[in-house]
Amino acid sequence: MKIYLRFLREYPRESVLAPLFKLLEACFDLCVPLVVAAMIDRGIGTGDTGFLWKMTLLLVLLAFVGLACSVTAQYFASKAAVGTATRLRRELFAHMQAFTYAQTDRVGTASMITRMTSDINQLQTGINITLRLLLRSPIIVFGAVAMAFTVSVRLAWIFVGVVPLLALVVFGVMLGTIPLYRKVQSRLDRVTAATRENLNGARVVRAFCKEDEEIRRFDGINRAQTALQERTGRLSALMNPLTYVLVNLAVLLIIRQGGFSVAAGTLTQGQVVALVNYMAQILVELVKLANSIFTVTKAVACGKRIGAVLDMPAGQERIADEKPQRTGEAVSFEKVSLTYDGDSAPSLQDITFTALRGQTVGVIGGTGAGKSSLVQLIPRFYEATEGSVRVLGAEVRSYEPATLRGRIGIVPQKAELFRGTIRSNLQWGRKDADDAALWQALEDAQAADFVREKEGQLDAPVEQKGRNFSGGQRQRLTIARALVGQPEILILDDSASALDYATDARLREALRKLPYHPTIFLISQRTASLRACDQILVLEDGRLVGMGTHETLLRDCAVYREIHESQYKGGEEA
């Protein structure tokens, strides 16, 4: 409910007018059975045609006024619901953008997508239903009971007995389905995750002929979701038949007792019809109320899921401000360890090294050695579990994230491009970069040649994830994007793996000649790519097992020597 109230405060007028107009519509609906009763008793009973026409016109007027009130209520309710959902979606997206890598891992990508789409849509529907029907239905039910007492006090007690039984059925079924609806929304994350995984890995699935296996896997997840929804549906389906049975039994009792009263002259035929109409109104409104409660129940469950994400503190805490000092050190690790959430063993352990300004630092090791984990601590994507990380003369935790990452250029292991143009992608590095700066970055990244061949050159289109470029072209464009900002620290996380040796060599030569002399962290599986580095860090199982130049490591580090010899015949270049 906090989610509702927090965002509905932005729409106070709509939140009041929507139920108010529904209340007016309900009042007009309650007048209809009395008009019908008068038509039967006075118009039809006495043959007064003029009176019948007057009452008919009155019914039409009530219908039009009720319709106008209903449309107006729907307008205000929709405006409040859609506006609230828009603001909530915007705030949720902004909150998720502030998440650290660890927080994103904890929530899960599939779960965040579900909350951004399905959950917020369900919440929007719930707000709409709440403003329109949750007030109208009780007004009609209690109003019909009250109007029944004005017609016949004796028969009105039937209403008093039936309404609690109906409420018992409605709320009993509702309480049974609330936890099931929560499970349904939670299980939906699994379906979303399986779908997303297969869409992202469609080419891999086809390459290994795993279509049938993935279809069976998805079918199992989908069947589990279907079974839970069917179970929930079977329980909620009890609502309508049980309420119809109770109401129709009450109608039979009214007709029976009303018939005796009509015969005794204490009640008119029109009044009996009015009582039946009021009971029918109660039936319709209780069914509406039940369906509304189901919708609101699902909305509340979704709101709690959304609230759980919004309540998570986004970002990382800063320690006391520490002004960066102009020293010769660019990056310094002091006994740094890193353990990911949920992992029992550390991914990095007791790492200590210093990289000087302008140096090129190579990082090498086997798969899973912790190379990417190490460089992700520099821009503080993850928080070091133990030890201290200093960047450009200050503790990394003392920086504002935007300030820190504005001084660091990052080329991730997986090249990511966004839909737009080459220009728009490169200007992520610096918004105000002119064409000369963009072309210079492309030249340094060895990407200028194929960009010139594209129609439109810098304005050539880039499809989602850059799928209209080859793997090597995507990598070079992401390197150029990082170079546009002329960072003080440049991190290349195995970002030249798709390049041939000649292009890789030209790229490394261009990086060495950059006029602003950044400190470069170069992760690579090739010792040939690292041999010119000022120092090389060798990782194994999260530990720093070697540090030095290429020649020193060949002599003193068995792990580095083994990697090198696996790439060259007998230790000599092939």
pLDDT in tens, 283-300: 777 777 777 777 777 787
Give the number of C-alpha atoms closer than 13 A to the C-alpha of residue 235, restricted to the C-beta side. Answer: 17
Q: What does the alpha-carbon distance between residue 118 and residue 107 come to, in Å, rounded to a whole number?
A: 16
Three-class DSSP category at 335 = strand
Q: What does the alpha-carbon distance between residue 376 and residue 386 come to, in Å, rounded to a whole number?
A: 15
Q: Which residue has the higher pLDDT, 130 or 480?
A: 480
Strand partners, 364: 538
pLDDT at 574: 38
B/e letters for 74-92, b = 16+ CB within 10 Å, e = fewer, are bebbbbbbebbbeebbeeb
C-beta separation of 131 from 81 below 8 A: yes
Chain-centroid distance of CA 308 in Å reads 12
Q: What does the alpha-carbon distance between residue 169 and residue 176 come to, in Å, rounded to a whole number?
A: 11
Average pLDDT on 357-379 reads 87
Q: What does the alpha-carbon distance between residue 263 and residue 250 come to, in Å, rounded to a whole number?
A: 20
* Residue found by looking up tokens 């039910």 in the block: 141
532: confidence class by pLDDT, cuts 50, 70, 90: confident
Strand partners, 388: 334
Average pLDDT on 183-208 reads 80
Does this model's pTM top 0.85? My answer is no
Query: Average pLDDT, whole number, for the chain?
Result: 82
pLDDT at 571: 44
* pLDDT higher than 80, residue 207: yes
pLDDT at 323: 65
* pLDDT higher than 70, residue 66: yes
* pLDDT higher than 60, residue 573: no
Enter the tokens of residue 540: 């194994």
Chain segment 469-518, per-residue pLDDT in tens: 888 888 889 899 999 888 889 998 887 777 778 888 888 888 888 888 88
Chain segment 228-277, per-residue pLDDT in tens: 888 888 877 777 788 778 878 888 888 887 777 777 777 778 878 888 88
**Do the strands 386-391 and 329-338 form a parallel or antiparallel pair, or are they unpaired?**
antiparallel
Element (H, E) at 535: strand 535-540
Chain segment 1-43, per-residue pLDDT in tens: 566 567 777 788 888 888 888 888 888 888 888 788 788 877 7
C-beta separation of 341 from 385 below 8 A: no
